[in-house]
Amino acid sequence: MPLYKNLSQVSWTILGMVQDPVQQTEPFVIGTYTGEKCPQRMRDFLRPLVDEVNSLNGQNVTINAASVRIDGFNTDHRALCLIKEVQEGSQLACHKCEAIGWQAHGGMVYPIEKGAQRTDAGFRELRYFGHHKEELVGEGENQRMVAIQSALVGINYIDMVEDFRIGDEEHLLHTGIFVNLLENLMKGNGREILPIEQRKLEKLNRRLMRTTLPCECSPRHFVPISKDLAQYLLNRLYLGNLMKYVGITFFKDAMQPELFDMFIRVYWGMSLLSSSYFRAHWPVAEIFFSQFLSLYKEKFGQISYKFHCLTHLVEEVTRFGPLKRNSCRPFDNMLNSLRHVVDRRQSALDQVSSTLLLREAAFRKSGNAPNFPLSTK
Ligand SMILES: [Zn+2]
Q: Which of 209-223, 239-253, 278-292 has maximum average pLDDT?
A: 278-292
Cα 250 to ligand 1 centre (Å): 31
> How far is the centre of ligand 1, averaged over its atoms, from the C-alpha of 96 (Å)?
5
pLDDT of residue 365: 61
CA of 155 to the centre of ligand 1 (A): 24
In this predicted model, what pLDDT tens digit does every residue of 103-153 receive, in sequence order?
987 889 999 999 999 999 999 999 999 999 999 988 888 899 999 999 999
CA 105 to mean position of chain CA atoms: 25
Query: Residue 318 C-alpha to ligand 1 middle, in angstroms?
Result: 16
Q: What distances in angstroms separate CA 128 from CA 137, 157, 166, one per listed residue?
A: 19, 20, 18
pLDDT band at 371, cuts 50/70/90?
very low
308 C-alpha to ligand 1 centroid (Å): 6
Taking alpha carbons only, the member of 158, 253, 157, 256 closest to residue 206 is: 253
- Ligand 1 center from residue 160 Cα (angstroms): 15
Q: What's the pLDDT at 318?
A: 95
Ligand 1 centroid to residue 99 C-alpha, Å? 5
Query: Over the stretch 262-287, which tens digit does the pLDDT of each residue have?
Result: 999 999 999 999 999 999 999 999 99
Calculate the average pLDDT of the chain: 85
Helix ranges (H only) for the chain are: 42-58, 77-84, 120-124, 179-187, 198-209, 230-234, 236-241, 257-272, 282-300, 305-309, 313-320, 329-341, 348-364
Of 160, 72, 150, the C-alpha closest to 117 is 160
> What separation in Å is there between the alpha carbon of 175 and the centre of ligand 1?
19
pTM recorded for the entire structure: 0.85
Query: 376: pLDDT confidence band, cut at 50, 70 and 90?
Result: very low
- Rounded to the nearest angstrom, the distance between the alpha carbon of 113 and the centre of ligand 1 is 8
- Residue 294's pLDDT is 95
**Cα(268)–Cα(314) distance, integer angstroms:** 13
**Tens digits of per-residue pLDDT, 11-58?**
788 888 888 777 778 888 888 777 777 777 888 889 999 998 998 887
pLDDT at residue 344, rounded to an integer:
59
Answer whether residue 368 shows pLDDT above 60. Answer: no
SS3 content of the chain, % helix, strand, coil (to 5): 50, 10, 40
Q: Residue 194 C-alpha to ligand 1 middle, in angstroms? A: 31
